């Protein structure tokens, strides 16, 4: 079997060339993510499937995930380089993302992740999900635990074990589902779609602003299922900008999928509304940034609110080649 990445073909990787070095704190029910040194493939990690005999079904699932991932080439999606299937344990060889799981990063660095970084996390993950949706892929398990965060602060969507190609997918076999991240229609009909991904993304936004805290903390799955079907939604932390709280509530947490935003609309909201909002909120919580320096230098607030991005967004006559350019400028200012 051959899997390629950017034209670099990788047949079944020889397991003897895969050396386990560090166990990361990224675990799933079906395997674990480890960092490895692979001959000819620096900066890679591997997803290990089991240590004992695997059924044909499990092997088939692993190969389906690998085939799905090999088509994805995006900054906010974890890259695949190959598989090792000739002997057990089996490996999916992935891009190495040293920062680890996003939820763990948020919990570990709760006192140092500022609002601009959190907004950049939200936008980065949205860009990755939008890319998947343009490939007609439903992730089906979006959560901070299934995102990795690189050392250069880039969110990367990972864990495609449940993902499917298509605009809609209905589960017909019994399986454990992450109730607190599900859209109301998934709970009632077991159906997933691009719009259910959008709802789960909204729960991820909660996780980001709650410093990796679990949604519906202290509430049972049964109570969450009942509440969601009755129209109850999460309340985002007050640290989340008001405009974003309102947008998530009104356009993402909608009970009816038809009224839910697309990921492209989510991205446009961030680029057109969140830059100056995030900077102003940050200023309110940092007394040092409010004071003018004695040497007459402009305050940090003055410098930030007059940033190039604010000018581009507020001045319709400003030259900008495309909406994609706005996204790039937004990220460069975060």
Considering the candidates 14, 141, 217, 325, report the single residue annotated as catalytic: 141
Q: Which CATH number fits domain 15-43+50-94: 3.30.1380, 3.30.499, 3.30.200, 3.40.50?
A: 3.30.200
Report the pLDDT value the prediction gives residue 45, as an integer from 0 to 100: 59
Beta bridge partners of 49: 90
The pLDDT assigned to 89 comes to 66
CA quadruple 125, 147, 278, 73: dihedral positive or negative? negative
Domain 100-268 has CATH 1.10.510.10: yes
pLDDT at 94: 81
Q: What residues does each domain of the chain span?
A: 15-43+50-94, 100-268
Residue 217, Cβ density class (10 Å: 0-12 exposed, 13-18 middle, ≥19 buried): exposed
Query: Cβ atoms within 10 A of the Cβ of 295, count?
Result: 5
What pLDDT score was predicted for residue 28? 30
How many Å apart are CA 222 and CA 213, to the nearest integer? 19
Q: Which of 133, 129, 15 is nearest to 76 (CA)?
A: 129
Question: pLDDT value at position 289?
Answer: 40
Closest CA to 204 of 240, 152, 170, 163: 240
- Full pLDDT tens readout for the chain, 334 residues: 343 333 334 335 454 444 333 222 222 333 444 455 444 455 655 555 444 455 677 777 777 888 888 889 999 999 887 777 666 666 777 888 888 999 999 999 999 999 999 999 999 999 999 999 999 999 999 999 999 999 999 999 999 989 999 999 999 876 789 999 999 999 999 999 999 999 999 999 999 999 999 999 999 999 999 999 999 999 999 999 999 999 999 999 999 999 999 999 999 999 999 876 555 555 454 444 444 344 444 443 343 333 333 333 333 334 445 666 666 665 666 6
Predicted local confidence at residue 315, as pLDDT: 38
**15-43+50-94 and 100-268 share one CATH topology?**
no
Asked about 295 being catalytic, the answer comes back as: no
Q: What are phi and psi of 60, to 5 degrees?
A: -60, -40
Q: Is 156 helix (H, G, I), strand (E, B) or coil?
A: strand
> How much is the pLDDT for 332?
63
């Amino acid at each position: 079997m051959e899997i390629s990445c950017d034209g670099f073909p990788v047949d079944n990787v020889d397991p003897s060339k895969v050396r386990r070095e560090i166990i990361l704190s990224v675990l799933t029910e079906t395997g674990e993510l480890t960092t490895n040194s692979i001959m000819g493939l620096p900066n890679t990690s591997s997803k290990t499937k089991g240590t004992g005999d695997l059924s044909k079904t499990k092997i088939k699932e692993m190969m389906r995930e690998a085939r799905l991932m090999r088509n994805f080439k995006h900054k906010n999606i974890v890259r695949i380089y190959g598989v090792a299937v000739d002997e057990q344990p089996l490996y999916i060889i992935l891009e190495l993302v040293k920062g680890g799981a996003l939820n763990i990063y948020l919990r570990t660095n709760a006192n140092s992740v500022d609002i601009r970084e959190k907004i950049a996390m939200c936008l980065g993950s949205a860009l990755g999900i939008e890319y998947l949706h343009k490939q007609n892929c439903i992730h089906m398990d979006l959560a901070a635990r299934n995102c990795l965060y690189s050392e250069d602060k880039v969110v990367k969507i990972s864990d495609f074990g449940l993902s499917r190609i298509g605009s809609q997918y209905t589960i017909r076999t019994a399986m454990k589902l992450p109730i607190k991240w599900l859209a109301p229609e998934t709970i009632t009909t077991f159906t997933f779609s691009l719009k259910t991904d959008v709802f789960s993304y909204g729960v991820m936004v909660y996780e980001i602003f709650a410093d990796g805290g679990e949604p519906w903390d202290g509430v049972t799955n049964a109570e969450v299922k009942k509440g969601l079907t009755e129209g109850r939604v999460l309340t985002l932390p007050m640290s989340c900008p008001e405009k974003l709280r309102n947008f998530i509530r009104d356009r993402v947490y909608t009970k009816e999928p038809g009224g839910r935003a697309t990921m492209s609309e989510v991205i446009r909201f961030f680029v057109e509304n969140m830059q100056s909002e995030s900077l102003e909120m940050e200023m309110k919580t940092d007394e040092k940034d409010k004071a003018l320096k004695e040497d007459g230098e402009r305050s940090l607030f003055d410098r930030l609110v007059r940033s190039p991005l604010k000018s581009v967004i507020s001045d319709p006559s400003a030259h900008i080649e495309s909406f994609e350019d706005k996204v790039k400028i937004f990220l460069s200012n975060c």
